Chains A and B, each alone.
Chain A
Amino acid sequence: DAKTTQPPSMDCAEGRAANLPCNHSTISGNEYVYWYRQIHSQGPQYIIHGLKNNETNEMASLIITEDRKSSTLILPHATLRDTAVYYCIVRVSNSGGGADGLTFGKGTHLIIQP
């Protein structure tokens, strides 16, 4: 079973920031938080990942709470092309013995409204 909890769906207006929450209250100290998204009928696309600190790249920002029990993915200026299913995944580090496959839940279906 997935170790994360996400809302099944969210709407966001085009041009606004989309904030996608994820709960991972049982996360271990050596587990990373990963975000992927999947546009209909395509393979999942990597977005961002983090361990403790907040992270930012050209696609998004990842905010991880201090206790690491939840995180938020932020798409700063959502466009219609950001409509997709967004998956939040926790994964143990390689040094923690992890080389497992990713465990996907059902994700959040983000719909960007024009």
Chain B
Amino acid sequence: DTGVSQNPRHKITKRGQNVTFRCDPISEHNRLYWYRQTLGQGPEFLTYFQNEAQLEKSRLLSDRFSAERPKGSFSTLEIQRTEQGDSAMYLCASSLEKGGTDTQYFGPGTRLTVL
């Protein structure tokens, strides 16, 4: 399968613990996006990378959240000192920017439950 992959698919953690999610984009896609989706709502943008550079962060991305994309390939999203309000589906998308508009393709998501 050559789509966007995310691991793990499910994560249960206790409040206060740190968690890290991984996203592998479609090969050769130069943009990578992170979103968060809570129950009953549409996905909300968190941050995006163009190659290895993190170019935009949403105000939703608190100081406890950090994202990296070393070498412009896979990306990781870390949440430190998790809170119950962090329980959500975390979605990754990738796209190929080549002028005009770029179409984002989403992965299956990582569902986080904070107890």
Residue of B nearest to A32 (CB): B101
Which among A10-18, A64-72, A93-101 touches the partner chain? A93-101
Which among B14-22, B39-47, B62-70, B71-79 touches the partner chain? B39-47
Tell me the minimal C-beta distance from A12 to chain B in angstroms.
21
State whether A105 touches B42 (Cβ < 8 A). Answer: yes
State whether B43 touches A91 (Cβ < 8 A). Answer: no
Q: In the docked arrangement, what's the CA distance between A51 and B101, Å?
A: 10
Residue in B41, B46, B97, B106 whose beta carbon sits within 8 Å of that of A106 in the complex? B41
Residues of A close to B106: CB separation below 8 A? 36, 43-46
- The count of chain A contact residues (Cβ–Cβ below 8 Å) is 27
Residues of A close to B103: CB separation below 8 A? 34, 46, 49
Residue of B nearest to A85 (CB): B42
User: What are 22 A-B pairs at a CB distance below 8 A?
Assistant: A2-B42, A36-B106, A43-B93, A43-B107, A43-B109, A44-B43, A44-B106, A46-B104, A46-B105, A85-B42, A93-B101, A94-B99, A94-B100, A94-B101, A100-B45, A100-B56, A101-B45, A101-B46, A101-B48, A101-B56, A102-B35, A104-B44
The A1-33 residues at the B interface (CB cut-off 8 A) are 2, 32
Q: In the docked arrangement, what's the CA distance between A40 and B50, Å?
A: 29
Pair count A-B, CB < 8 A: 70
Residues of B close to A42: CB separation below 8 A? 108-109
Which secondary structure dominates chain A's binding surface?
A: loop
- The count of chain B contact residues (Cβ–Cβ below 8 Å) is 32
Known: A46-B103, A95-B99, A99-B31. 14 other contacts (CB 8 A): A43-B91, A43-B93, A43-B106, A44-B93, A45-B106, A51-B101, A91-B101, A94-B97, A94-B102, A100-B48, A101-B48, A101-B56, A104-B42, A106-B41
The A46-80 residues at the B interface (CB cut-off 8 A) are 46, 49, 51
Residues of B close to A91: CB separation below 8 A? 101
Residues of B close to A46: CB separation below 8 A? 103-106
State whether A107 touches B100 (Cβ < 8 A). Answer: no
Max chain B C-beta neighbours (<10 A), residue from A34, A43, A51, A87: A43
Q: In the docked arrangement, what's the CA distance between A51 and B103, Å?
A: 13
